[in-house]
Amino acid sequence: MADHFLDTSALAKHYRMEPGTDVIDALLADPNHRHFVSRLAVVEFHSALAKSVRAGLLTPREFAVLTARFRADVKDKQFEVVRVLVPHFRRAEASIRRLGVCFNLRTLDAIQLAIALVLKEASHTLVFVSSDRSLCGIASSEGLSVLNPELPT
């Protein structure tokens, strides 16, 4: 059984129609997989939708419906929410020191990556799911299997 770690860019596709939504929906519909998101992604998800409201892409009512749906999915255990712990921050900091001078590894992405790497150490079948091409490249170079739902497989 493969486990999946979804970053915020992948998670949002389940709640808004955009390129890659069909891939994410199919992934989440398969009961033979566990789906992890970080506690950070929970906050980022709400922030991304709020930004869409400010940009006029979502109404406040749509924001309320989508965030309620997400909270219900978390409550129903569709996603396993991983707490962000001090070791994750330390690993993210080390990754930025090592990789950030050559690659565009942003702070929050480094934390997401650190959480995925720790999960991989516990489950050797983890797939890192993100639509951020740069982050996918970094994750792959760090030894993670990667799925970008926007790219053909």
Q: Which two tokens stand for residue 128?
A: 């890192």
Q: Answer whether residue 9 is part of any domain.
A: yes
Name the domain count of the chain: 1
Full residue range of the structural domain in which residue 117 is found: 3-147
43 within some domain: yes
Rounded mean pLDDT, 119-134? 91
Residue-wise pLDDT for 26-57, tens only, equals 999 988 889 999 999 999 999 999 999 999 99
**Structure-model confidence comparison of residues 153 and 72, the more confident one:** 72
pLDDT for 51-66, tens place per residue? Answer: 999 999 999 999 999 9
Is residue 116, in this structure, part of any structural domain at all? Answer: yes
Residue 61 domain-assigned (yes or no): yes
Residue 127 included in any domain: yes
CB 106 within 8 A of CB 131: no
pTM for this predicted structure: 0.93
Q: Does 153 map to a domain? A: no
What does the alpha-carbon distance between residue 102 and residue 17 come to, in Å, rounded to a whole number? 33
SS3 44: helix
As a whole number of angstroms, the distance between CA 147 and CA 138 comes to 12
Q: Pick the closest to residue 146 from 16, 28, 2, 48 (CA basis).
A: 2
CATH number, domain with residue 52: 3.40.50.1010
In a domain, 47, yes or no: yes
